[in-house]
Structure 1
Amino acid sequence: MRTNTKISILILLILTIIGCQNSAKKVPMLIKKDFGKWEKENDSLGVELGHAGFDNWIDLLNRTGSIACNDSIPKITLKTDNQIKTVYFRNPCWENFACILIKEKNTIKIHNDSIGKYHEDLYPLDSLTSILRRDIKNNGKNPMLSDSPEKLLIYISYDKNGFENLPNTLNKLTQSYELITNKTDINIWLDEKLDTPPPPPPKELGEI
């Protein structure tokens, strides 16, 4: 009888250990990554944008500017089952600047689901990795592309309504950047797309 009791206890102990091991395997390890954050910056400077709570893109931009002008850094945190990704935006406080000179060739513009370079046609968002790689690897060789990876600036903009795809765009952008550079020091601005006015109509013959 005692032997049977000991065997039962031993089996129960083995099953408990196996169960604990299986439970431990099912719990994924969360990986935390920060994108766009400078090395010496304190985490406390980051202020969550809470992008889902805004009715339109302009309101989100206004909140971004307000955070920047309060000596803080706007950020968005993206969460998946195994990763917490925080994306910091480098938008300046425009109250402190009349203008900032940025060469167009050092920029990539993502508007809605299209990618643009100032001298080229639009590309679909699926082309993001190849477009990024061209500029990052250019190092001044092609005068129409970025001078260096450090000078590359990525603008993200949306129409007034309908920016629900922003988290997906940020995920693709940060994944592509890390894949190419093995770094997380990406420079992203949230921006307002300003439409270029159409050129004036051609003058009629004899018109002064």
Structure 2
Amino acid sequence: MKKVYYILLLSLTLFNCDKTVKQDHTSTTETFYYPTVANFQNDTLLKKVELDSLDNFEELLNIADEIVCDTKSPLIYFENKDAIFKFLIDKDCSIAFNIADYKERNIIFIQGDSIIINDKMSKPFDSIEKVLNNHILNKGKNPKYSTSIEKAIIFYHQDSLFKSIDIKEQLLKISNAFNGIRNTNGDSIPLKIKLQEYGYIYIEEPPIPIK
């Protein structure tokens, strides 16, 4: 009788192990990394920020500032039913005096539902796919867009009460548009995003003096 019980117990154990393995292998969740997966190798310098736990842009800005002032990098994390998204976001520390010099043409500025290009043009946010293609893949050809893939960057600013769910929606659209670029041009292309404390200020060019 002991042999019968032992065989029965062993059979049940093997059956349960096989079931667990099948469940693990059926997982289809994909993870997207930005700028690139290579930026996530030293995870001791990263600090996770779950976007769904925040209320608005002001809260995101404050938390990101604390992280960068502590010489770490904010990792904005969220997920949906299809995938996990991890964005390493840049930001200047508010108590430091580091000045980064960017050429205007290397920046597109996202604010509200607008994309500002090269300090001159404004496009609706729904045109993000076309704008990203022009901006990132320009390679210095069009003077309105970036000088190179490596220098192309997005500056991102919203009103302080802009909800985190709306930030998430915009980041998803940016991700979808950018993934199309990666699918045709390779995974090594980076997506760089930098949070901005202050909004874009339109400066009108003075009229040409009449002689």
State the Cα RMSD in Å: 3.1
Counterpart-to-counterpart distance in 2, 1:198 and 1:107: 16
Distance apart, 1:187 and its partner CA: 0.8
Contact 1:140 1:146 in 2 (8 A): yes
Please tell me the residue identity of whatever aligns with 2:179.
E
Distance apart, 1:94 and its partner CA: 4.5
Contact 2:51 2:78 in 1 (8 A): no
Partner in structure 1 of residue 14 of structure 2: none
Counterpart-to-counterpart distance in 1, 2:119 and 2:151: 18
Contact 1:28 1:82 in 2 (8 A): no
Q: Which runs of 5+ in 1 are unaligned?
A: 1-19, 203-208
Matched residue SS, 1:122? strand
Matched residue SS, 1:150? coil
Partner in structure 2 of residue 115 of structure 1: 115
Counterpart-to-counterpart distance in 2, 1:60 and 1:120: 28
Distance apart, 1:97 and its partner CA: 3.1
Distance apart, 1:131 and its partner CA: 0.5
Please tell me the residue identity of whatever aligns with 2:198.
K
Counterpart-to-counterpart distance in 2, 1:122 and 1:197: 11
Please tell me the residue identity of whatever aligns with 1:115.
I
Contact 2:117 2:144 in 1 (8 A): no
Name the CA shift for 1:171/1:39 in 2 (closer, same or farther; >3 Å). Answer: same
Q: Which runs of 5+ in 2 are unaligned?
A: 1-18
Q: TM-score, normalised by structure 2?
A: 0.72
Provide the aligned length of Structure 1 versus Structure 2.
182
Please tell me the residue identity of whatever aligns with 1:169.
Q
Partner in structure 1 of residue 15 of structure 2: none
Please tell me the residue identity of whatever aligns with 1:39.
A
Name the CA shift for 1:36/1:197 in 2 (closer, same or farther; >3 Å). Answer: closer
Counterpart-to-counterpart distance in 2, 1:198 and 1:70: 34
Name whichever of 153-162 and 187-196 sits farther off. 187-196
Distance apart, 1:75 and its partner CA: 1.6
Name whichever of 146-155 and 121-130 sits farther off. 121-130
1:165 matches 2:166: yes
Counterpart-to-counterpart distance in 2, 1:118 and 1:66: 30
Name the CA shift for 1:186/1:29 in 2 (closer, same or farther; >3 Å). Answer: same
Name whichever of 66-75 and 182-191 sits farther off. 182-191
Name the CA shift for 1:37/1:159 in 2 (closer, same or farther; >3 Å). Answer: same
Instruction: Trace 1:70-89 onto structure 2 (pairs within 5 A).
Output: 70-89=70-89
Counterpart-to-counterpart distance in 2, 1:68 and 1:37: 19
Partner in structure 2 of residue 67 of structure 1: 67
Partner in structure 2 of residue 12 of structure 1: none
Partner in structure 2 of residue 134 of structure 1: 134
Identity across aligned pairs (percent)?
26
Partner in structure 2 of residue 16 of structure 1: none
Q: Deviations over 1:73-115 (max 9, x none)?
A: 1122121223111111022335443421111110011112211
